[in-house]
Amino acid sequence: MDRSPGSSAFVQRIPEGDTRPRLVCDTCGFIRYENPKIVVGSVVAHEGRLLLCRRAINPRTGFWTLPAGYLELNETTADGAVREAYEEATARIEIDRLLAVYSIPRLSQVQLIYRARLLDPDVKAGPESAEVGLFQWEEIPWDDMAFPSARWALRHWRETEALQEFAPMTNPPGEFGNF
């Protein structure tokens, strides 16, 4: 612990009026809250095909996933999903509606996945993708999907594909995001 003049030392303790251990400044009492990360993404459809990206970065390099990533500061969740689709696949998309909210407590993540439409099928890999492709349902590389939540979202998209109104989906029964 750094206790030199002008430095703060954070210690883990339960602040007064709280029920969880937090990082608290030993000098001034400031509480440094650590909260879940928000991931935003989309299941992007175009003429019956779905956009997937093969990851060029860790985790799960070389596996396929949806265009998704961390929400940035001062960004709406829908704007974040649009940005991620462009960054990962140069995909220009239009958000339809919120498809699912997944809780991944092991990673301290909340994932908001949208249903979207591809505006232009001319897509190419961005810096975080090794390749991108538009897949018919039967062509999806299920065994090479990077994350269970990407599989959940694809299946939830399929269940809601023809629906105009539906409540956002959540983790499938028995799936608590502890993968």
What DSSP string runs through 1-69? ---STT---EEEE--TT-SS-EEEETTT--EE---PEEEEEEEEEETTEEEEEEESSSSSTT-EE-SEE
pLDDT score recorded for residue 61: 98
pLDDT at 5: 45
The pLDDT, as a whole number, for residue 164 is 95
Residue 146 C-beta-side C-alpha neighbours within 13 Å = 18
**pLDDT tens-digit map of 44-96:** 999 999 999 999 999 999 999 999 999 999 999 999 999 999 999 999 999 99
Contact 99, 169 (CB under 8 A): yes
The answer, as to whether pTM is greater than 0.85, is yes
Q: What is the pLDDT of residue 3?
A: 46
- Domains of the chain from N-terminus onward: 37-160 (3.90.79.10)
User: Can you say how many angstroms the Cα of residue 46 is from the centroid of all Cα atoms in its chain?
Assistant: 21
Cβ-Cβ contacts under 8 Å for 41 (sequence gap 6 or more): 66, 67, 68, 69, 81, 84, 85, 111, 112, 113, 114, 153
pLDDT at 177: 66
CA 132 to mean position of chain CA atoms:
18
- Look at residue 2 in the predicted model and tell me its pLDDT: 45
Q: Is the dihedral of CA 53, 59, 61, 62 positive or negative?
A: negative
Residues of the chain scoring pLDDT < 70: 1-7, 177-179
